[in-house]
Amino acid sequence: GAAFGRDPGLAVRGLRSFATAEGPRVVFVGKLIVSKGCDLLIAAWPLVAAANPGARLLLIGFGEYRAGLERLLAALDAGDLEAAREVAAAGRALEGGEEGELRYLRAFLDAAPAGYAEAARAAAGTVDLAGRLEYSEVARAVRASDAMVVPSTFPEAFGMVAAEAAATGALPVCADHSGLAEVAGALAGVLPRGVGELTSFELGPGAVDAIADRLNRWLALPEDELAAARGALAEAVRSRWSWEGVARSVLSASAGDLDSLDRVPPA
C-alpha cells in the first residue's frame, strides 16, 4: 500500500525542503509504527521550530502508522489540539491494532504550554514525511542533519541509527532505555559537562517536553562549542563502533590470551 511503497515525488519534495532549510535540520529514520515514538517527536516539533526559525524536520521511513502521523500533523498544523487528542486516544488503532491511548502524547496535550497551539500553527509546513528512501539518500540526509531523534518506546537491541548519526557529528537524542541507552551513555561520556545529558531523555509523561528541551539546548550552543562537540561525537563512534575500532578492541582483549599461550611449554 501507500504506507510502504516509494513515492518519488514525495521523496524529492522532502529532500529538497530539507536541503534548502534556512535553519537547523532534524531527522528521524525508522519504521513509521507506534512503537517508534514518532508521535512524540512530531508533538515536540512546534516547540523546536518556535525557538529555531527556518528549522525543518524530515521523517524517513514507511509503515502502518503513516496515516496516523499525517492525521496528527494536520491537527497540529491547524492548531486543533482536540483533534490531536483524538489521535492520541485512538493509538494503535490507526495502524491496524487495538485501540489504546498514547499516554505520553495525551499527557503532553492535556498540559500543553501556553501558546502551544499558536506555535503548532506557525510550524505548519516545516515537517516532511519522505517515505522510503534509498540508502544513499538516507546517508546524505543524515550527514546534512544537526540532530537525529530516536524516540522509540519499545526496546531496541542496539542504537545503530544513533551511532550512525553521531558519526556525522549530528547529536542523537535517544529514549533512555535498552540499546539506545548504551549508545547515548557512551556518547554522553565524551561530551562536555551539561552537553552529554542532551543525548537521552526519559520516557514518561514529560517525554515531549524533554525532546524539545534537548534539541533546543543543543541547537543554541555557541558555534565553537558545537563544532567541538560534533568532533567528539564523530571520533567516539570511529573509535568504538567502526570496523577498525571493533578490531582494535578484539585484538586488545585477545592479546592477553595470546601472551599466555606463548608461555605454555610445548607438549
186-205 confidence digits (pLDDT tens): 999 999 989 999 999 999 99
Cell of 45: 516539533
User: Which of 61-65, 246-250, 260-264 is the most confident on average?
Assistant: 61-65
Amino acid residing at 189: G
Q: What integer pLDDT is reported at residue 7 of this predicted model?
A: 82
Q: What integer pLDDT is reported at residue 146 of this predicted model?
A: 98
State the pTM of this model: 0.89
Lowest mean pLDDT: which of 130-139, 225-234, 254-263?
A: 254-263
Residue 140 backbone dihedrals phi, psi, to 5 degrees: -65, -40
Select the more confidently predicted residue: 57 or 5: 57
User: Is it the case that residue 45 has pLDDT exceeding 70?
Assistant: yes
User: Is it the case that residue 74 has pLDDT exceeding 90?
Assistant: yes
Q: Which CA distances in Å does 7 have to 4, 11, 68, 139, 152?
A: 9, 6, 18, 18, 25
The mean pLDDT value for 218-246 works out to 88
Q: What integer pLDDT is reported at residue 4 of this predicted model?
A: 57
2, HSE (Cβ side, Cα atoms, 13 Å): 9
Q: What integer pLDDT is reported at residue 244 of this predicted model?
A: 55
Select the more confidently predicted residue: 100 or 60: 60
**pLDDT tens string 108-165:** 999 999 999 999 999 999 999 999 999 999 999 999 999 999 999 999 988 899 999 9
Confidence of residue 99 (pLDDT cuts 50, 70, 90): confident
Q: What integer pLDDT is reported at residue 6 of this predicted model?
A: 75
Chain mean pLDDT for the chain: 90
CA gap 164, 183 in Å, rounded: 10
**pLDDT tens string 235-257:** 999 999 875 544 444 444 444 44
For the chain, give the percent of residues with pLDDT over 70. 89
Rounded to 5°, the CA angle 167-45-57 comes to 50
Select the more confidently predicted residue: 220 or 262: 220
